[in-house]
Amino acid sequence: MEENALSHAVLGAALEVHRFLGPGLLESVYRQALCRELTLQGLPWRAEVPLAAAYKGLSFDVAYRLDIVVGEKVVLELKVAEKLLPVHEAQLLSYLRLSRKRLGLLINFNVPRLKQGVKRVVNGL
């Protein structure tokens, strides 16, 4: 499945989770629920994916953990925040660069309507 189709399916799964659970829970609850919904929809995913980093010959084996990677193409960064900030978008863009992925979705579940909490981030590679 290509990136745009995957992102569309992921948004449908996230909407279902948000409709069922609503805002105000812990990020770990949304992550587990979203993984369950992705499974129910037949989408391949991995959670808490280790991400290495390097700096001028210095390697950091597991510098970060990606919340969820869907279909090995789309990185999901989940938040439960009052609002999405520029630093959240910058964080996801850094993850995309380090993982050499092109598309990421920043999803904040702490909103009345999930549409208000979704930001699509593209890495120009």
| pLDDT (tens digit per residue) in 55-75 | 999 998 888 999 999 999 999
Beta-sheet strand order (sheet of 45-55)? 45-55, 58-70, 74-79, 103-108, 118-122
Q: Is 44 helix (H, G, I), strand (E, B) or coil?
A: coil
pTM here? 0.95
| pLDDT (tens digit per residue) in 31-54 | 999 999 999 999 999 999 999 998
Cα–Cα distance measured from residue 116 to residue 113, given in angstroms and rounded to the nearest whole number: 6
Give me the count of residues in the chain: 125
